[in-house]
Amino acid sequence: DNTVKGIVEFYNNTPITSGSSAIFPVYTPATLELTPTAEFDVTVNYASVDPAPEDITVQLSVASDAVTQYNTTHTANYNTLPAAAYTIPASVTQLDYLSILLKVCGR
């Protein structure tokens, strides 16, 4: 059954800084300052008319190819952070509200 029963989406409280034609939206957290280490939440929201029927497992990863494609499309020069500069949990499982804490190190 390929019927969509719910939607998993990211919540961002910062405006999109990429153009309206961008394939990949770019969000720049307004509260992320240049400090040796910063932590910020990435909120993932499950939205449906019915409650989630079971725990939801979310896996996040870095898509370096998305950065390359964005740079090519927008004549930009963004770099993917080195893996040692951030921590992303392998997966998080929860039934309702889900907040994933990302740790970014200024190395």
Torsion angle of C-alpha atoms 88, 8, 1, 93, degrees rounded to 10? 40
Q: Any idea which residue has 């970014």 for tokens?
A: 104
Q: What is the pLDDT of residue 102?
A: 62
| 93 or 107, higher pLDDT | 93
Torsion angle of C-alpha atoms 49, 26, 101, 94, degrees rounded to 10? 20
Inter-residue contact 37 to 103 (CB < 8 Å): yes
Instruction: Quote the CA–CA distance of 98 and 57 in Å, as a whole number.
Output: 10
Per residue in 53-103, pLDDT tens?
Answer: 788 787 778 888 988 998 998 888 888 888 887 777 777 776 665 556 666
Domain boundaries in the chain? 7-105
| 40 or 34, higher pLDDT | 40
Q: Specify the pTM.
A: 0.47
| 16 or 84, higher pLDDT | 84
**pLDDT-derived band of residue 18, with 50, 70 and 90 as boundaries?**
confident
